[in-house]
Structure 1
Amino acid sequence: MLGTSQQKAFIKTEDVELVLGSSPSHIAISDLHRRYNLTVTEFFLALANNALPLQDKSLIEATFDIRNDDHISIYQKDYYFAFSIVGAHKRNDRIYLTQKNSNEIYLINGEFDQFAAEEILSSLQFLTH
């Protein structure tokens, strides 16, 4: 089943319920990239590689609902990037899609594991198996 509401699409199957939508950076990531004078892509790359200042760790953890044991996966296809954040303690896993040097973000929310995240990206032709 597929439904839309303004700038969001709702996808529901037997196994998964997802919300896909355009989300301004001030909502999706609290404009944290601006704090470091980075693009959204540069910010996520630094976040995934633990290259952001430690004094902001609690703010970042609260914004993304992540813990030290959560993994951020990076996927790239041409100029497009996907960053998935999935964790066992989370009720709402996320995939952030963006284009290099852009501050526009598409966000996929739902309950899924890393394998399902890769399946989602594959179905969007972001990944090829």
Structure 2
Amino acid sequence: MKIGVFIILLMTSHSIFANPILKLPSTKCNGNYFSIRVVDLSFCVSKQKIEEVNLLGISSTTAIIKEDGLELSIGLNPPEISISNLHKKLGLTVHEFFMGLYSEDIDVDNFSAIKSAFDINSQNKLSVYSNGNLYAFVIIGSNVDYDRIYLNKKGSDIVYQVTGEFSSKELLSILSKIKY
């Protein structure tokens, strides 16, 4: 009996010990905020703390926002740029690629090289937040060049990327300002 329970635990240990997908925080956008729209993603900023907004490119697919000392780049970042179309090379959707990266179950010989390209290691974990079909794949840490949030809706190949230097506490504030 004990051996049977041990075998079942061993077979399911990946799902038992895997990090959970976290819930995206509720939006804090209200009358004290206004929205900056980048294509079909909105980011709300404090009317009192906004310092600067720069729209880059003729089609305004990227915005640089400075608010309360924090500088973020928010942009539509197609998968050919954001993930080098790795999802297509592996026969996956963008969502499946990110979920495979998170669960570490992409069947490829050079998986460690893929993790390294995204700065994922023992100090910089990939975490996932979701609400409905919206997912935020987050890489933050002390030894990454810049912290990143990849936003993707399940069933969509569109990727929005939020980059900057932010802490775990600031991450929750950033996530609460996104409407997509």
The interval holding the TM-score normalised by the smaller chain is: 0.7 to 0.9
Q: Secondary structure at the match of 1:18?
A: strand
Aligned to 2:7: none
Aligned to 1:5: 56
Is 2:123–2:143's contact at 8 Å kept on the other side of the alignment? no
Structure 2 gap segments, 5+ residues each? 1-51
Does residue 97 (structure 1) correspond to residue 148 (structure 2)? The answer is no
Aligned to 1:59: 113
The amino acid across from 2:141 in the alignment is G
Q: For residues 107 and 119 of structure 1, what CA distance do their matches in structure 2 show?
A: 16
Is 1:85–1:93's contact at 8 Å kept on the other side of the alignment? yes
Greater Cα offset, 39-48 or 55-64: 55-64
Aligned to 2:25: none
Greater Cα offset, 49-58 or 17-26: 49-58
Is 1:41–1:98's contact at 8 Å kept on the other side of the alignment? yes
Following superposition, the deviation at residue 74 of structure 1 comes to 0.8
TM-score normalised per structure 1: 0.87
Aligned to 2:174: 120
Greater Cα offset, 54-63 or 75-84: 54-63
Taking only aligned residues, the RMSD between alpha carbons, in angstroms, comes to 1.7
Structure 1 gap segments, 5+ residues each? none
The amino acid across from 2:53 in the alignment is L
Identical-pair percentage: 35
Following superposition, the deviation at residue 2 of structure 1 comes to 1.4
Which of the pair has more CA radius of gyration? 2
Is 2:120–2:126's contact at 8 Å kept on the other side of the alignment? no
Greater Cα offset, 48-57 or 70-79: 48-57
Does residue 74 (structure 1) correspond to residue 128 (structure 2)? The answer is yes
TM-score normalised per structure 2: 0.64
Q: Secondary structure at the match of 1:55?
A: coil
Following superposition, the deviation at residue 105 of structure 1 comes to 0.4
Aligned to 1:39: 93
Following superposition, the deviation at residue 125 of structure 1 comes to 4.9
Q: For residues 10 and 106 of structure 1, what CA distance do their matches in structure 2 show?
A: 13
Q: For residues 14 and 23 of structure 1, what CA distance do their matches in structure 2 show?
A: 25
Count matched residues.
Answer: 126
Which residue of 137, 153, 159 corresponds with 1:83? 137
Aligned to 1:24: 78
Is 1:28–1:105's contact at 8 Å kept on the other side of the alignment? yes
Is 2:123–2:142's contact at 8 Å kept on the other side of the alignment? no
Is 1:30–1:63's contact at 8 Å kept on the other side of the alignment? no
